[in-house]
A = this chain, B = another copy of it.
Amino acid sequence: MTPKELRDLSARGDFDHHTAGYCEGYVQANMVALPQEYAKDFKRFCENNPKPCPLLEVVGPGAHKTRRLADNADLLNTIPRYLIWKDGCIDKEVPQIGEYYSDDLVFFLLGCSFSFEQALVSSGIRLRHIEMNRNVSMFNTDIPLKASGPFFGKMVVSMRPIYYELVPQACLITGQYPDVHGEPVHIGYPEMIGIQNIKQADYGDSVEIKPDEIPVFWACGVTPQNVLVEAKLPFAITHAPGFMFVGDMLNEDFST
């Protein structure tokens, strides 16, 4: 499936699945949409915290179609699932957001670790959640973020169990993708970053860590959602975790 085909299916309501493993080689992105009055602070927040919030494209106000990541993809319906947030809480999970749109909305597309997964797999590094067709495991941590206006909080990370001999290689490979989270933020000891129960993911699906594997943690684009909860904005829209925007740019376009 090409990214355009996936987006077209989504727009028609015919693709309702997490996007990991789809459209091999193409960039995937997290999405946050906010009323214009919060957009400046949020942009600075992303610039302050580039590892969890790598800003790839901003759309609007007054527009809802991408220019950089894809030519004219409609952000109102080309993502498979959206979350509608009210006062810092999830109000609804919906397949398209036309009825919530106003000229006032600003859309932020943020880099996603799915983008470097293909590079890991191509180098012979097995990723269990892909092999099991599950969503990646994500965890809240105690890693602080640099605040901007109402936006503050702690980093969310994705976790992949990596065969112990390949951990340094996984670090080097993902380090080549600084615009899509880059190298890990932590290797090996979940409790050091405030994760008490590694067997129970806070978002996505839990996966087993085998005795010859080490848990490796990358900054995760779900972080902004955590931050939205804390900011308790009256209104916001995001993608649903794991259900990403799929663009027409290649992951390799983001490799150094």
Contacts and interface: CB of A to CB of B under 8 A. Distances in A.
A227 interface: no
Nearest to A192: B164
Interface residues of A, number: 18
A213 to B, nearest CB: 10
A164 B189 CA distance: 9
Nearest to A183: B168
Contacts of A4: none
B212 A186 contact: no
A23 interface: no
Number of this chain's copies in the complex = 2
Nearest to A143: B165
A71 to B, nearest CB: 34
A172 B189 CA distance: 19
Interface in A131-168: 164-165, 167-168
Contacts of A212: 192
Contacts of A189: 164, 188, 214
Nearest to A167: B187
Contacts of A186: 164-165, 167-168
A175 B167 CA distance: 12
B188 A183 contact: no
A229 interface: no
A169 interface: yes
B169 A183 contact: yes
Nearest to A214: B188
B214 A185 contact: no
A184 interface: yes
Contact of A168 (B165, B175, B192): B175
Given A167-B188, A171-B175, A172-B175, 19 more contacts: A164-B186, A164-B192, A165-B186, A167-B186, A168-B171, A168-B175, A168-B183, A168-B185, A168-B186, A169-B183, A171-B171, A171-B172, A171-B183, A171-B187, A187-B187, A187-B188, A188-B188, A192-B212, A192-B214
